[in-house]
Amino acid sequence: MEILFFVLGIITLIAALLVALQRNVRHAALFLAISCLGVAGLLYLLQAPVVATTQLVVYGVGIAALIRFSPRPLRQMTRPDALGPAPRWWGAALVAVALGGILIWGALAYPGASGAATDAHTDFILPLIVGVILLPLAMTAAVRIGGRR
C-alpha cells in the first residue's frame, strides 16, 4: 500500500511545486487541480471517503471549472504571465523553507502524536450548515465586490 502513498504524494508535491514556479496562469490552474486531486487520493488512502469526495468535487472539479468557464475579466487576467517571480523571491523561498523545515522537524520529533480526544458528538451536518450559510454569502460578496456589468 505504501507505493500508492508515494505515487500520490509525489504527484501532489510536484504539481504543487509547478504551481509555485509555473509562469502560465492557466497551466498553474491545471496543476493546482492535479494537486488537489492528489490530496483527494491521499485522503481516500487515509480512509476518509467523505472528505475525499468533498475535496474531489469542490476543489478538483470546482476550481478547474471555475477557471475554465470564467467570465471575461478572469480570462483576461489569466493570460500567460510574462513576469517572473518578484525580486523578493529569495526572501520568500527562505521563509518558506525555514517554516517548512520547522514543521518537518516537528513532525519527526513527535511521531505518535495523539489527536485531541474530544468528546463532542458532531456529525457531518455541521459543515453542511456552515457551507449553506457561508457559500451564498461568499458568492454574493464576490459578485458585489467584483461589480456587475
- Residues binding other proteins: number (CB under 8 A): 98
Residue 114, C-alpha cell as written in the block = 495523539
Q: What nine digits make up the cell of 60?
A: 478538483
Cβ neighbours of 10 (radius 10 Å): 11
Could you tell me the smallest distance in angstroms from the CB atom of residue 98 to other proteins?
5
Map the footprint of other proteins across residues 80-139, applying CB under 8 A. Answer: 81, 83-86, 88-89, 91-93, 95-100, 102-104, 106-108, 111-115, 117-118, 120-139
- Beta carbon of residue 131, minimum distance to other proteins (angstroms, whole number): 4
Residues 53-72 that bind other proteins (CB under 8 A): 54-55, 58-59, 62-63, 65-66, 69
Contact call for residue 7 and other proteins (CB under 8 A): no
Q: Taking CB under 8 A as the criterion, which residues in 24-53 touch other proteins?
A: 25, 28-29, 32, 35-36, 39, 42-43, 45-51
Q: How far apart are CA 16 and CA 96, in angstroms?
A: 13
Short-list 65, 6, 11, 5, CA closest to 37: 11
- The single residue listed with the C-alpha cell 492528489 is 38
C-alpha cell at 62: 470546482
Burial 51-90 (b: 16+ CB within 10 A, else e): bbebbbeebbeeebeebeeeeeeeeeebeeeeeeeeeeee
**Closest CB 125 distance from other proteins, rounded Å:** 4
Nearest distance, CB of residue 149 and other proteins, angstroms: 8
Q: How far is the CB of 75 from other proteins (least distance, A)?
A: 11
